[in-house]
Every structure is written in structure tokens, then in C-alpha cells.
Structure 1
Amino acid sequence: MQSAPGSHEEATVGGKVPQDVAGKLTRDAPLAKLVWFKSGGKADWLFEPESVEDLIQFLTRMEEGTPVMALGLGSNLIIRDGGVPGVVVRLGKPFASVEVKRDNVLECGGGAPGILVASSARDAGIAGLEFLRGIPGTVGGFVRMNGGAYGREVADVLVDCDVVMPDGACVRVPVADLDYSYRHSRLPEGAIVVAARFKGEPGDPAEIEAEMNRIAHAREETQPLRSKTGGSTFKNPEGDKAWRLVDAAGCRGLKMGDAQVSEKHANFLINTGHATSADIEGLGEEVRRRVAEATGVALQWEIQRVGRP
């Protein structure tokens, strides 16, 4: 743990952060390297707990009102250039386990990536979770956002999840209580999903592998996966596709500084060099303006934008 010598707590925006805790605590932690866009400022504090108990103890002792944000793979996120106030919690390897249970259930840590969940299901002969191969994030993120791809979403397979609230309380939340809608759940801001259980159905590993390969190939062919990007930028409006509307407004390839609308997939923004987060977010807002002007549709951000401008 990194901490100030002789200090057991230190002030941050909204309150005080306990110093003498298990896990790694870093002040003024650069976040750009942890997100796919490779842009943005620092976290006032970055906390990487070694266990759920570490996280609970840390949050319980933290002063009420201190902002808390969970960070997974950073794939669906713009960290603004002014950095993130309060504490960013990153769930690393201790939270990346996947365990096969009976009745075709997988119990997964909040830091487990979607590809690991899908692969573990394949190896166990559990079908129905192949779509998680196409979600570039961790369990904690796509459970919170009801992530989806290729015709399925988390709401279709989630049994329940374990959530640590900002005050340190740990609760188990059944899927029905999440009130899922398109890319949204009722989890409060600052709540951190530390584990989840997904249920599939018996399947043939070879067929599951073939479907996962189909998804991987489709992503490779249609998305700018080898670029610094953030995934799908805007939510699909009811009955339409965001990329089609962006295209209709003439925005494919549009640039702002080193930020660009992808030529390969018009619903992806990419960092072609040294774009700032302001460049990327500003480009997204310009796309929204042009789409509204050209089509009358107000696109809604799917990428999360956090921190100080």
C-alpha cells in the first residue's frame, strides 16, 4: 500500500480516505493508461483491494460523501482531462475468478473479463453465454450497464449479483431487483459489483466454440478493435441503429484534433494519436448535434463520461 508517512487518513474531495488499509492505495494516479482511449486525467485516489473484505473495510471507514467510482477494463469510458474526484476502485486479479457451479451456473468475480466467462462456459459445456465474448469489459461493468451484444444481454442470463454499496454494506441483488432496461440498471452511483452468477443451458463445447468464433470474426471485420477506442459510442434508438444515423448525417470519418469517427464503424470514436478526452467528447457532441439536425433524432451516449472537464 502506498500512503503518506505517519498518516492514517487524508483529505480528498468530499471527505477523508483511510490510509492504513490492505490493498494498494495510490494518490494522484494516472488513469489514461488504464482506459482504452488512452486519454484523460488522474484519480485523486486509486484503490485496488485484495479482497471483498478489504473493499468493505475501506469504504466503511471512508468519510460519507466521498465520491466512489468503479473501473474495470476501461473500454466504455471517457476519463475527462481534469481527472476523477474522490476514489476510483479497480478490481484486479483477486476479483477475476470464474467458478463452475451446478445447474449450469457460473459464479464470476466482478473483475473477470467477458471473454474469460464465455470461455469458461464453453469448457464446461454451458451454452447461452457466448455473447459475452463480444463485450469488451468486466463482469462488474456489464452487470451494472446490462451489457449486450449479438442479440442477447446480461438480463437474459444473470441470476443475481453481490454489490458493495458506497457505505460499505454488501448486499446480494437478484436480477429482478435491478429493473434492467436498455444499457441501464437501478444500481446507485458508487455501487460496486464484486461478483455475479450467470445461468446458461447444457450445450456442446464444439458448437459453443463455433459461435464464439463467429462473434470474434464479426467483431474483427466490423469494428476498429486495433485502435484506441471506447466501444459503441451511442445507444441504438428504438427501431434504428446509431451507426446508420451517424452515417446519414455525414459524420463517418469526421475529425476533431486527433479524435475521429471511425471509417470502419460509424458508431465508434477513435484516438488516432494524442487526442485529449475533451477532443473525443467534443467530437461526440458534434456528432450528436449533426445527427439531430439531419434526422431529428437525439442520440444518447452509451460511453460513460466521468470526471472534471
Structure 2
Amino acid sequence: MTQAALPTVAGKLTANAPLAPLVWFKSGGSAEWLFEPKDVADLQAFLRGLDPAVPVMPLGLGSNLIVRDGGVPGVVVRLGKAFAKVSKCAGLTLDCGAGASGILVSSTARDNGIGGLEFLRSIPGTVGGFVRMNGGAYGGEVKDILVDCDVVLRDGSLHTLAAADLHYTYRHSELPDGAIVVAARFRGRPGKAEDIQAEMDRISASREASQPLRSKTGGSTFKNPSGHKAWELVDAAGCRGLTLGGAQVSEKHCNFLLNLGDATSADIEALGDEVRRRVKAHSGVDLEWEIQRVGKSK
């Protein structure tokens, strides 16, 4: 697909853009095209003018993602600084751009005396991903704080969806196919800045102690099955420290996969599937991927 076949944009279009530097695993192929829109209107105009047959995929911080080694066809949309603003809009509600990090959202909440959003401090991602996946940790979930969100559909139209429209379940929403979240409103509860900071510090210390944060990883690999913790099932199946190619099951936290340095995405995905096979054989439980796998295999 040539640039001439693409709509004119105010933002940035890059052909054959390597995605490995943009994802936490630091592995995988390139995007056929990477689009970084200037603003919502730029994104709308681009999607409106793009051939409906061309696939489009949004990309946040790339923390919950395996990009396969053959790359991603079509257009990958990455929301940059223009989408990373957070401000208080009313009462105990924050207006958050989809590119804003959990750290920025929780810190802005603290500065405005808004509690209940501290758990976002612990999720390695952006608002768009939180909304799509019903992100959660340390006793909180997005479904508990979301008021509504703005999304741009594949035809370029802009819509506001209430939290109830997303029909949230565990790590899942019914966001319309092709929808790109561009903003969301989160509502918390009254809180004192010092208490909110103390809770954020507690969460940060707990994460540091229990998770391999300094490694090339993708975050939690598998969803917690009903009545179980994924890491305990992985550990019981003898998978702690298991390696395949350049990929390893973390010895610090069994629900994290690591790129030890030169792993391909195929190594990482195959290791995850081997873990799923061993857990099924040991406990009879089918582990579901929480990490998204996208693109083509080589």
C-alpha cells in the first residue's frame, strides 16, 4: 500500500515502522504503516478517507502485547502527546486522554484530592487500553471508576459511550469492533492527598517486590481463572523458570514471560502455549491469554 493510497494527514505517517522498540517485549516485526495523529479531528479524517478494507490497530504503551515477527498489516495508530493530557472536569471526575499513563492519571487524582484511582498507578499502560480491557489491580477495576469514554469508529465517526454500554466483565469489554478510545472520564471519591500518595507508594512497593519490572516483559500473561490465581497454576505445573529459545517464565512471578535478550515473538508465544498445555495437563484448567497477540507469523 503506497502513501498515495492513504489520506493526507496533519500528523505523522511512517512506512514499515519497526514496532519492537514500541512494545515492552522488544520483539516482533514492523507496521505496514504507523500513524501518529495530530488530534482527534486528524484521526477522524484519516479513518473516514481510508479504504474500509484496510485493517487498523490502536497501540498504547505496548505493555500487554505480543507483536508477531511477520509484522502488522494495514495501519497501526499510536496516540501521542496530544492524547496524553489529564485534567479535572467536574467534582471528583478527571477528563483523561487515551494516551495518558496510569501514573499520570493517579497523580493528577492525588493533586485534586480524588481517591479510588490509586490502582491505576500499578497498571503499565494507557487509558485507551485500560478502558478496552477493563484494566485492574490491587482491588480496583476500570468498571468501578469509568463514567464514559469517547471513541472514534472505523468510519471516522466520534461517539461517547457510557460505562454501561461496554458491558464489562473480567478483563473484557464489548467495545465496538474497530473502535479507538480517544478519551475517558474517571470518577473517584473524596480523599486526602497524603493518604492517596501513601496508597500509591504501597502499591508501587508491592509491585517492585513481586514483579520483574526491570525485565523485557508484557505484564500479566494469563487471566486469573475463576477460583484460581494464574501464577499458582503455572507454578504448580512446574513452569517457574521454564525457557524456550530466548524466552523464559519469570522466576520472580510465574504469570510473567520474559525476553531474556534475543527472544523472537514466536519464542514468547510458543512458551506461553507450552505453559498453557502443562497447566491443562496438571490441573485441568484452561488458561486464557490476557496478553494480546497481533500480526502475522513469519
User: Please, which of 248, 252, 271 is the counterpart of residue 240 of structure 2?
Assistant: 252
Note the C-alpha offset of 1:188. 2.6
Identify unmatched segments of 5+ residues in structure 1: 11-16
Tell me, what secondary structure is at the counterpart of 1:101?
A: strand
Q: How does 1:286-305 map to 2 (within 5 A)?
A: 286-305=274-293
Is residue 124 of structure 2 the alignment partner of residue 136 of structure 1?
A: yes
Aligned residue identity for 1:184: H
Tell me, what secondary structure is at the counterpart of 2:218?
A: strand
Query: 2 CA distance for matches of 1:190 and 1:178?
Result: 14
2:176 aligned residue: 188
Query: 1 CA distance for matches of 2:90 and 2:49?
Result: 37
Query: 2 CA distance for matches of 1:148 and 1:224?
Result: 18
1:34 aligned residue: 22
Is residue 106 of structure 2 the alignment partner of residue 155 of structure 1?
A: no
1:112-138, Cα deviation, whole Å (9 max, x unpaired)? 001100000001110000000011000
Is residue 81 of structure 2 the alignment partner of residue 93 of structure 1?
A: yes
Note the C-alpha offset of 1:190. 2.2
Query: 2 CA distance for matches of 1:101 and 1:201?
Result: 14
Is residue 191 of structure 2 the alignment partner of residue 211 of structure 1?
A: no
Query: 2 CA distance for matches of 1:279 and 1:188?
Result: 31
Note the C-alpha offset of 1:144. 0.5
Is residue 106 of structure 2 the alignment partner of residue 118 of structure 1?
A: yes
1:62 aligned residue: 50
Query: 2 CA distance for matches of 1:29 and 1:188?
Result: 27
Note the C-alpha offset of 1:157. 0.2
Query: 2 CA distance for matches of 1:26 and 1:190?
Result: 21
Query: 2 CA distance for matches of 1:33 and 1:188?
Result: 28
Note the C-alpha offset of 1:87. 0.5
Aligned residue identity for 2:129: G
Identify unmatched segments of 5+ residues in structure 2: none
1:277-302, Cα deviation, whole Å (9 max, x unpaired)? 00000000000000000000000000
Query: 2 CA distance for matches of 1:297 and 1:145?
Result: 22
Note the C-alpha offset of 1:189. 3.1
Displaced runs of 4 or more, over 6 A? none
2:223 aligned residue: 235
Query: 2 CA distance for matches of 1:285 and 1:278?
Result: 10
Aligned residue identity for 2:180: I
1:177 aligned residue: 165
Query: 1 CA distance for matches of 2:208 and 2:287?
Result: 25
Aligned residue identity for 1:110: A
TM-score, normalised by the number of residues in structure 2 = 0.98
Aligned residue identity for 1:59: L
Aligned residue identity for 2:30: K
Query: 1 CA distance for matches of 2:178 and 2:240?
Result: 35
Is residue 24 of structure 2 the alignment partner of residue 43 of structure 1?
A: no
Aligned residue identity for 1:284: G
Aligned length: 297
Query: 2 CA distance for matches of 1:177 and 1:241?
Result: 29
Query: 2 CA distance for matches of 1:29 and 1:163?
Result: 25
Query: 2 CA distance for matches of 1:84 and 1:190?
Result: 15
Query: 2 CA distance for matches of 1:126 and 1:21?
Result: 38
Tell me, what secondary structure is at the counterpart of 2:120?
A: helix
Query: 2 CA distance for matches of 1:65 and 1:196?
Result: 28
CA RMSD of aligned residues (A): 1.0
1:250-297, Cα deviation, whole Å (9 max, x unpaired)? 000000011000000000000011100000000000000000000000
Tell me, what secondary structure is at the counterpart of 1:291?
A: helix
1:181-208, Cα deviation, whole Å (9 max, x unpaired)? 0010001332110000000111000000
Tell me, what secondary structure is at the counterpart of 1:232?
A: coil
1:279 aligned residue: 267
2:213 aligned residue: 225
Note the C-alpha offset of 1:65. 1.9
Query: 1 CA distance for matches of 2:53 and 2:114?
Result: 42
